[in-house]
Amino acid sequence: MNQLDALKQLTTVVADTGDFNQIAAYSPRDATTNPSLILKAVQKPEYAHLLQETVAKFGQHGVDEVMNRLLVRFGIEILKHVPGRVSTEVDARLSFDTEATVTRARRIIDLYQGEGVHVDRILIKIASTWEGIQAAARLERDGIHTNLTLLFSFCQAVACGQAKVQLISPFVGRIYDWYKKQAGAKWDEAAMAGANDPGVQSVRAIYNFYKKHGIATEVMGASFRNVGQITALAGCDLLTISPDLLAQLQASEAPLAKALDAEAAQAMDIPFVQYDEAAFRFALNEDAMATEKLSEGIRAFVADTIKLEAMMR
């Protein structure tokens, strides 16, 4: 059995790509997208027509509507290749505006439903700011499920659990990137691999806290840099993985052991914590890595959204 098949016995595997033609080879249950992945896809000849057709049909309605239509068009194509859900991201420029995030999310859901896609097959991706988490709480109460992304800290995960969001996406690789950069020449790759990887440790702490305290929010590790980070999280609820790393898993027959276990977490001594807005903002501010990577991630998604809009014009 290859590692990908072995992983599927422990964890729900999700494809992290806008390149829907690659998805079928790995048979994931779900798929995730973001502005950067969509930008990358539409620059390929086989997908350029999706942008051209969307602009031709809806260009008169403005850039925001064209963007919504393009994201939904990709989502619909992806859903032809997966039996589960697709995550579609709200404009990162709305990350600090609860009302605008809710409005944009509802518009995206309306477009999907207009194409006959059931609401349960869609996860609306929202940045894990305080405002984004409050928007997600409102959407969840209305039956619209959310994926809270750009999540780097324990306090973000706790607040998402309090908001009863459907799913969170802690970014393993970007946490790893930050600590590696901070260490510079002192970084020991071998010593910091696998279970010692700071991104892996972050997800494990969140997973164990959720399972210990009966929090139903799903944990989906994301943003992987290598296969070792993935195998060190075998047993996590879900893992969203790029096609390159899916291919590496599929090509390997190395043994794979379960690394995360919900029953074991329930026996752990993990205190319960919760955050109001002031406590959340202070805890996030105290975490230099999370503060920096959240801001950087929002800026990067905004930059790629602007590039997409320029292509539309």
**DSSP for 137-164, written as a single string:** HHHHHTT--EEEEEE-SHHHHHHHHHTT
Contacting residues for 136 by C-beta, under 8 A, at least 6 apart: 124, 126, 146, 148, 160, 163, 165
Pairwise CA distance, residues 146 & 166, whole Å: 5
Q: Domain boundaries in the chain?
A: 3-312
229 pLDDT band, cuts 50/70/90, is: very high
From 40, 125, 164, 212, active-site residue: 125
pLDDT band at 313 (very low <50, low <70, confident <90, very high): confident
Sequence-separated contacts (24+) of 51-57 with Cβ below 8 Å: 51/311, 51/312, 55/312
pTM of the predicted model as reported, rounded to 2 decimal places: 0.96
pLDDT score for 94: 98
pLDDT at position 36 is 93
Q: Which residues contact 113 (CB under 8 A, 6 or more apart)?
A: 119
What confidence score (pLDDT) does residue 102 get? 98
| H-only helix segments in the chain | 3-8, 35-42, 45-58, 63-79, 98-114, 130-141, 154-162, 172-183, 198-212, 227-231, 243-251, 262-266, 277-286, 288-312
Distances (CA, A) of 163 to 146, 148, 166, 283, 313: 11, 11, 9, 17, 38
Rounded-to-integer distance, Cα 247 and Cα 241, Å: 10
What is the C-alpha to C-alpha distance for residues 153 and 127, in angstroms, rounded to an integer?
13
Neighbours of 55 (CB within 10 A): 17
**pLDDT (tens digit per residue) in 19-57:** 999 998 999 999 999 989 999 999 999 999 999 999 999
* List of residues 6+ apart from 191 with CB closer than 8 A: none
Confidence of residue 133 (pLDDT cuts 50, 70, 90): very high
Cβ atoms of 236 and 7 closer than 8 Å: no
- pLDDT of 69 higher than 90: yes
Is 187 a residue whose pLDDT tops 90?
yes
Whether 211 is catalytic: no
Model confidence at 303, pLDDT cuts 50, 70, 90, reads: very high
Taking Cα atoms as reference points, which of 181, 117, 177 lies closest to residue 145?
117
Reading the block at residue 105, the tokens are 């999310």
Position 88 pLDDT exceeds 90: yes
d(CA 221, CA 217): 13
Q: Report the sign of the C-alpha dihedral through residues 79, 124, 234, 251, in that order.
A: positive
Q: Where residue 196 falls among pLDDT bands split at 50, 70, 90?
A: very high
Task: Identify the CATH number of the domain defined by range 3-312.
Answer: 3.20.20.70
The DSSP code sequence of 91-104 is PGGGTT-HHHHHHH
| DSSP letter assigned to residue 253 | -
**Per-residue pLDDT at 53:** 94
pLDDT value at position 99? 98
